[in-house]
Chains A and B, each alone.
Chain A
Amino acid sequence: MKFQIPIGPQHPALKEPISLRMTVEGEVIRDADIRLGYNHRGLEKLAEDKTWIQNIYLTERICGICSHSHATCYVQGVEKLMEIVPPKRGLYIRYLVSELERIHSHLLWLGVAGHEAGFDSFFMYTWRDREIVMDLLELISGNRVHYAINTLGGVRRDIDEGQKAKILEGIITLRKRSEYYFHIGANEPSFVARLAGVGLLTKEQAVSLCAVGPMARASGITRDVRKEDPYAVYDEMDFEVGTAESCDVLGRVVVRVKELLESYKLCEQILHKLPAGDIVVKAPRKAKPNEAVSRYEAPRGENIHYIKSNGSDKPERLKVRAPTLANYPATVEMLKNGFIADIPLIFAAIDPCICCAERTVSLVNIRSGEETVVRLSDLRRQAIERHKNAPPKRNAVWPF
């Protein structure tokens, strides 16, 4: 017997609204369908109304976890457009925050993976240790979530010797804990039984479906913007791209823990090499008409911002391609022929950031299943017509 189960838009496994519809036979998924648009906020349009500086704070709010990723990606692009080069010290601090953010994001993800697998002890431990890195971020920037450290042409706050010592101290603790998690993730029998062989994505599939970030790396592809197209400080650093060959959720756990260890290495290198000098140069108010593409390796994968300027103090167009969006096609493939029990794990394995990926709204006709993308003005006209003609319906039927 085939039937459809709705996962979302509201579901305990999802922290953000998205709709996954699974056609299942018993416990086995035969087909999957992802529907987006529950969290669309019109950020790209809003960016066109704000100045270059204001947009830093807007892009930072695209996401709560990888806030620094979006802001940095945007700032990199704008700096290209304005043809300014930030001073070395500023860059070092900027990418130190980047790496700390990666650490906090991966620790958070490890906890979420543990929770989705029903391993709450793992969740409690990783989230406790995540507090260390959150405190370090607060120490540097004054904030725990939206660090607001970036500005055009550098960063807004310097770090001193005391802070440096504290960060190094925190990283030693974190490294010790991460090695322990690596041990648990690879050895706890019930955890491994739950993750191994789940959500298979072969190397060929990962390439053809354009998977990015830890997803691609867990399928054995060495794809990392920091290494392939080193931006800013990364060509001066010594680090490796963590990969796994197992192509499953376990591989994605392994890749993320490896990346954690690499990030600790990076943080230490950045702090030891931290050059003296200014942290910021003055940026012009306007940018010449031009366009720029900025690539950035966010914790979840490659983040792309396309920015077009028209000579004014505002962007003409800002296009955001968040890593989560790039991973959706692969997710649908991975869900097929899996178990219901594996849905949260497979979906969580891409580390979905739904609000990052919401760039458009599509309307679905519940009865016919037809999907359309409409303009806001059409939507308004439709709504007015509907309310004119039909009285409010009582006893509305739940569509599923």
Chain B
Amino acid sequence: MAVLRTILYLVVYPGLLFLFIYSTFCEWFDRKVYARLQNRMGPTHTGRFGLLQPIADFVKLLAKEDVVPEAADKRLFSLLPIFGLAVVSTAGLLLPVWNFDLAAPGPTSFSGDIIVLLYLLSLPTLILFLAAWASTNIFSTIGGSRVLTMLFGYEVPLFLSVLSPAILANSWRLAEIAAFYQKKPLLILPNLLGFLVAVIAVQAKLERTPFDIPHAETEIVGGTFTEYSGKKLALFRLMMDIEMVVSAGLLAAVFLGGFPGGALIGFVSFVIKTLFVIFLLALLRAMTSRIRIDQVVTFAWKYLAPLAVLQLLIVILLKGILP
């Protein structure tokens, strides 16, 4: 029975199947919001309101011809999409939606899980870089170097801003952090600055406009994904979608007071809060134009990092004042 439950946990809910369905829904939501902001319709045809469009895209990509370049490192090239998908799905298991019960923690809720989650969210960046490098295409190589250059920009502000609420809550466990802010909702307010920094950093992590530099199609064709096609590209796209859901979930858990109310109500608040974060990300995407790689690094170190440090300072001072 325990084995069956574990399998269900990993494969159905909150594992692969749920993450797949929910992330495609989030992609639909993102596309729809983005389209409406641009005065377009967005997906309308497949399914009701075009809800099935991301799944249709996924299936279509699965059916496409899968080309592996002659010069590429074939094993690495083929393994990386699977590896990336595994990493982000594992990260998804750590969210405190399904680990809400503090008294009886599940196997994926432990002290320090926020660090593990951040680590697992950093890995896709490295996977993208390796994928670009393994495909040996000149556009991919430039894309790969851009992925890493950007990583140096946004990673530190993201860590600083996500960890400062944890410092205030005095815990490295996501469920405990969420519970702390549920008890004292007013303390969410001093973290708003960090939330802002984190949203921008997550936008950069997900490589969306204005940070879609590694795969800027007008400059370097497909960038990182130039040589990827068919199933592998489908898996990479799914990876990015799940990464978006997990990042949004992380921000919601840390900055927006988590998901109170047990399994069902907690789940509803998870949906609402992640969609809110994704809405902000879509808004940012629609309002800005792509900036240059040097501008990203300058921006990150000139504005994001100092703001994140300021947030940390606020939290430390607050901690001294609070009983």
Q: How near does chain A come to B35, taking the closest CB pair, in angstroms?
A: 9
- B220 touching A118 by the CB < 8 A rule? no
When chains A and B are docked, how far (Å) is the Cα of A80 from the Cα of B222? 51
- B210 touching A118 by the CB < 8 A rule? yes
Given the known inter-chain contacts A118-B209, A120-B38, A340-B142, please indicate yes or no for A11 contacting B221, CB distance below 8 A. Answer: yes
Q: How near does chain A come to B129, taking the closest CB pair, in angstroms?
A: 16
Q: A238 interface residue, CB < 8 Å from B?
A: no
Give A111-126 interface residues, CB cut-off 8 Å to B.
114-122, 124-125
Give A91-140 interface residues, CB cut-off 8 Å to B.
114-122, 124-125, 128
Fill in one digit per residue for A1-28: 1 if any B CB lies within 8 Å of its CB, else 0: 0010100000111000000000000010
- B139 touching A118 by the CB < 8 A rule? no
- B290 touching A119 by the CB < 8 A rule? yes
Residues of A within 8 A of B167 (CB): none
Q: B45 interface residue, CB < 8 Å from A?
A: no
Could you say which of A125, A193, A341 contacts B216, with CB atoms under 8 Å apart? A341
Given the known inter-chain contacts A11-B221, A120-B38, A340-B220, please indicate yes or no for A194 contacting B142, CB distance below 8 A. Answer: no
Could you say which of B213, B218, B289 contacts A190, with CB atoms under 8 Å apart? B289
Most interface-central of B139, B213, B289, B290 (chain A CB within 10 A) = B289
Residues of B within 8 A of A122 (CB): 289
Q: B217 interface residue, CB < 8 Å from A?
A: yes
When chains A and B are docked, how far (Å) is the Cα of A119 from the Cα of B142? 21
Which residue of B has the minimal Cβ distance to A189?
Answer: B288
Q: A343 interface residue, CB < 8 Å from B?
A: yes
Which residue of B has the minimal Cβ distance to A198?
Answer: B292
Q: B291 interface residue, CB < 8 Å from A?
A: yes
- B40 touching A114 by the CB < 8 A rule? no
When chains A and B are docked, how far (Å) is the Cα of A11 from the Cα of B226? 12
Give B202-242 interface residues, CB cut-off 8 Å to A.
209-210, 212-213, 216-221
Q: A188 interface residue, CB < 8 Å from B?
A: yes
Q: B293 interface residue, CB < 8 Å from A?
A: yes
- B295 touching A117 by the CB < 8 A rule? no
Q: A191 interface residue, CB < 8 Å from B?
A: yes
Which residue of B has the minimal Cβ distance to A400?
Answer: B138
- B218 touching A116 by the CB < 8 A rule? yes
Q: List 10 A-B contacts (CB under 8 A).
A: A5-B138, A116-B218, A117-B290, A118-B289, A191-B288, A194-B295, A339-B292, A340-B219, A341-B219, A342-B292
Q: Which residues of A are at the interface with B, using a C-beta cutoff of 8 A?
A: 3, 5, 11-13, 27, 114-122, 124-125, 128, 188, 190-191, 193-194, 339-344, 400
